[in-house]
Copies of this chain bind each other. A is one copy, B any other.
Amino acid sequence: MFSKSCEYGIRAVIYIVSASKNGERVGISEICQNIDAPEHFTAKILQILTRNRIVSSQKGVHGGFYLDDYQKGLALIEVVTAIDGKTLFTGCGLGLKQCSETNPCPIHSKFKSIRNDIKKMLEQTTIEELGNSIKKGKSVLKTLKI
Pick the residue among B36, B105, B110, B130 that contacts A107 (CB under 8 A): B130
Interface size of A in residues (CB-CB distance below 8 Å): 43
User: Quick one: closest B residue to A92, CB to CB?
Assistant: B7
User: Quick one: closest B residue to A76, CB to CB?
Assistant: B107
Please state if B139 and A95 are interface contacts (CB–CB under 8 Å): no
CA distance A142 to B103 in the complex (A): 10
Main secondary structure of the interface of A (DSSP, over half): loop
Please state if A134 and B106 are interface contacts (CB–CB under 8 Å): yes
Instruction: Decide: A94 near B125, CB < 8 A? Known: A106-B130, A134-B106, A141-B106.
Output: no
Asked if A140 is at the interface (CB within 8 A of a chain B CB), the reply is yes
Please state if A125 and B110 are interface contacts (CB–CB under 8 Å): yes
Please state if B4 and A106 are interface contacts (CB–CB under 8 Å): no
